[in-house]
Each structure stands twice: as C-alpha cells, then as structure tokens.
Structure 1
C-alpha cells in the first residue's frame, strides 16, 4: 500500500497591539504572512513559532486557529520538474512577544502593515483568500478548498 503524500504547512497572522499585521516578502510568493512547512516529527505550534522567527525575527505566542485550507491541485514547483503534492494549511492568529524585525534567506523584506492595508501588498489570490478569512473571522473556523494552477479557483468555502 502506498501512503498518500501531503504537505502540511502553518501560517500566522501576527497582530501587534497597534493592530498592525506582520508581512514578509518571499523570493517566490511576494508578500505573505509568515509560515511554512511542518517538519517530520514537529508539532504545529513549534513549526509556526519557528517559521515566524526564521522569516521575520519576531517571537510569538499562538492564540487561536481561524482557517484550514487545502490546495488540492497538483502542479510543478518553480523548477518546472518537481511535482508539488496536495497541501493542507492551518492558519493561526499570533501575538508578538519579542525579537526584532529582520530578513532571512527566505525573505527579502518584512514589515508591520495596518490591518486594513495588508491586501494592498498581498497579490497572490490564495494568500488573499486566506487573509480575507482572517478579516471575516467571527469565531467559526473557515475551510477553503482551492487550486492555484493553472488558475486560482475556489472549490469549496464554508465554516466548520
């Protein structure tokens, strides 16, 4: 029997006391909320805290989950050869507790942005949909199933 292959990823909307959101500019994805893949043997919270620190220099505590997202499309990575499997992404609200803004090997810029201005920087449709789920969060977790290639398309959008 072959086990299914999925990428599990986490992302954090880091909101400071001034109501600003932490955004990072990646090499391939433009402006996004920090996050990334969960490593083998790593729990979701540790992965999220690690990814945010690595990408932005900011230390956080995880508050609550607001969205679960599936990219059920299978496509090729930026190299045009490597297949990218289905992704399951869990997005959380986080609070900063320390650290200093800094870039990394994965990020070329990072900054605090007014909550209502973040969509002016975020251009990727999937990231915009996930940020919109955060803006609309009313205590019910959003679930969105989408594909990004060849075009962005939402296949399912509901609360769970």
Structure 2
C-alpha cells in the first residue's frame, strides 16, 4: 500500500507594534494572511518565515502556535486537472523584524498592514475567515478544526487540543 499524500502548510498572523495584521492578495484575487506549503526537507518554522518573506517582503520571527487545521477534502486545483490532496495546516502568530513591504511579488498582487478589527472586511474565503476568527478568539489553547472546502465549506470537527 502506498504512503498517503498530504500537503503540509504553515500560516502566519504577523502582528506589528500598532496591532495591525499583515495581509497579502493572492494571484487569484483573494486576501489572506501569508503562508504556504512546507517544501521537502524544510521544517515548519523555516517554511513559514520563507513564505512570509516571499509573499510580502517582511522578515519575521515565529512566536507561538495557535491552530492546527485539516482540510480533508480532495478537489481540483485552479487548473481543473490536478488533484489537491488532504491538507494539514499550522497557524502561528509572528512578529515582524525587518524587510520592506512589497506591493507585488511573484506570488502576490498586493500586501498591506490592516487594523486587526478590519481584516474580516478583506477576507472572503470561508476557511480563511474561520481561521482568522480562531486567531481573534485565541485564549491560550490551540484550536483544531477539520473542514471541507469543496463543494462548499463545512466544519466537520472543532476542539481545543491544549490549554
């Protein structure tokens, strides 16, 4: 039997000293907090720091884990052909430590700092909105949510995995 295939990803809620959150606009048009896939041989922290830099130009440090997420659906990528396997994501709070905010990168069409209470005005994707709300509601316990995104967004399971 072959090994299962999963995408492992990390996302970062980058908070500046004024309480703003870093958002990036993806090439397909949606606003998200930065992050992405962990490459072969890469650890979660290094992947997250790399992804934030690639998507926004900002250098960061990773502060703490706030959520673990499973997108258990298999669906077609934007090309309509490639299967996207089950995804496991880890969300962290991060702090900016340098770099320069870039409006456009190879991966994004815009980047900006947004007041924490205005972020949901930008985010439309239901899974990203759910994860951002979990960040806003963070009480020190790591949140775990399993969900499907296709054909519609459905939360299958939600719990705290530590206190």
Q: Scaled by the length of structure 2, what TM-score is found? A: 0.97
4+ residue stretches of structure 1 with deviation over 4 A? none
Question: What are the residue-to-residue correspondences of 1:2-41 with 2, within 5 Å?
Answer: 2-28=2-28, 30-41=30-41
Does the aligned pair in 2 maintain the 1:29–1:124 contact within 8 Å? Answer: no
**1:104 and 2:105 aligned:** yes
Where does residue 79 of structure 2 map in the other structure?
79
Structure 1, unmatched stretches of 5+, are none
Superposition deviation, residue 156 in structure 1: 0.5
Where does residue 139 of structure 1 map in the other structure?
140
Superposition deviation, residue 29 in structure 1: 5.5
Q: Scaled by the length of structure 1, what TM-score is found? A: 0.99
Question: Aligned partners of 1:106 and 1:60: how far apart in 2?
Answer: 18
Q: 1:124 to 1:29 in 2, by over 3 A?
A: farther
**1:59 and 2:59 aligned:** yes
Superposition deviation, residue 28 in structure 1: 2.2
The two structures, once aligned, show a CA RMSD in angstroms of 0.7
Q: For this pair of structures, how many residues does the alignment match?
A: 160
Structure 2, unmatched stretches of 5+, are none
Question: Aligned partners of 1:56 and 1:9: how far apart in 2?
Answer: 17
SS of structure 1 residue aligned to 2:132: helix
